[in-house]
Amino acid sequence: MVGRRPLRRGDHEGRVQQELLERLFGRLFRRWLGLGLSQLTSTEAVGARPRAGTDPFGGATRPPAGLSPGTVRPIPPWAFTGVAICSFGGPLALAALNAPGLLADAGASTGLAMVAAVIVFTAPLAIWLRYARHVSSAGGLFAFVEAAAGRRLALAQAATWIVSYVLYLVYTTVQIVYDLLPSVMPVGRSAQTVLALLIPIGIAGVMVAGRATALIVLGLMAVGQLALAGILDGLTVAHFTTPASAFAVGAPAGSVAKAGAQTSLLYICGSLPLFLGGELARPARTIRRGLVGTYLLTTVVISLAVVPLAAAPGLLRTAVPGVTVAQLFASPGLAKATGIGVAVSIAGVILCEYLALTRLLHAIGRWRLRPITLAIGALMVAAAPFSLIDPQGFYSALVKPSLAALWTSQLIVFLAYPRFVAKRRGRALPAWTLSVAASGLAIYGLWTAL
């Protein structure tokens, strides 16, 4: 048995000096940044908890493999907010492309359908936030389900989620290159081929460059698309007067309900930032503020861009309504910038999904993040040439199973929520109410996917 080395005077003085420095600088950090020095380097702040952080009722913590607790700092709130903005659609893609076509089915009641969509999605959002109040790790939704119902069901949830988003990473480039961009500008076949190969390489390159690079790129994407969305909002508000009838039942109730329900489905990728919970200094507060603030911001951006178009419903059914509005009321240059911005907005969602996948796979298997990142990137790049054979067929073959797996994985999260609340001795009625509402939306999403 090896004995301890005797504590010498110099050791004691060194430790006292170190403690004094930590206290001094800790106070400075708390005063200037609102964050203690210990939080910047603690393994609890930057790392996933044991078994992917699914022990919400206690236990020690450790950092993810490949992340040094002494050098890797928690993700700042502004960076987390950037990820959240890109995850919710992103806002420009929803406002200029996706939401107008869905809300067009509500006819003159686009405002009412939009309000309904906002209300309906509060149930899934509330469940995510209540889970995240107690469980914050790289496991994200997987960690939520494990805390509620055990590892076996959590692995099933994670498997369906992984299938969904791996397929999304592979096929979404096809949507950008062959569906969106030709509606915005002339794109030759050779240019489409080059873009279909380069976009996956570019996204993989950003991820391989490291977490800081990915967060900076996502932050720039968030700022850029919000700027363009703000201009689009200004154009619609300036040129159209929103009729009061937009918030009344002026269309068949079934059409309004369908438009509201389908629009609410657009926000489901807002769960992606939850997989960064293990890398936040104050996860519960940062997640709550980031997701709620981003959700409200996104709904406002969409409402200002789409609801005024109830006065000109024909614009809602154009190929890319946001581009059409910019073309009619601004300039061809702004129209082209908006179209490219929508493409970047969609690419931002791909990047967020890539980031979340690396965290989840690390949380499940404790593999190092860099090999996971390289493997996913290699898969994206290797799959790209196959999409060139028959882009439309490639997209059609993958989109349905991807969406079905996505809604199945979310349904498991929502159904497990009452059990999670019961374990924490919470109130059953609110838990079941949220679970039924969110599960109903997930089942509707699954039905529309099939």
pLDDT digits (tens, 9 = 90+) for 385-396: 999 999 999 999
Nearest to 54, CA basis, from 123, 154, 122? 154
Radius of gyration of the chain (CA): 24
Burial of 364 (0-12, 13-18, 19+ CB in 10 A): buried
431 has pLDDT over 60: yes
Residue 428: count of CB within 10 angstroms of its CB: 11
pLDDT band of residue 107 (cuts 50, 70, 90) is confident
CATH no. for 76-403:
1.20.1740.10
Q: Are 51 and 142 in contact (CB under 8 A)?
A: no
Enter the tokens of residue 182.
């030709």
In 224-307, beta strands by DSSP E? none
pLDDT of residue 72: 66
> Could you give the count of Cα atoms lying within 13 Å of 140 in the half-sphere of its Cβ?
24
C-alpha dist (Å) from residue 113 to 230, 265, 393: 21, 13, 33
Helix (H, G, I), strand (E, B) or coil at 3: coil
Give the Cα separation of 227 and 234 in Å (integer): 11
24 has pLDDT over 90: no
Total-model pTM: 0.85
Residue showing tokens 């022990």: 55
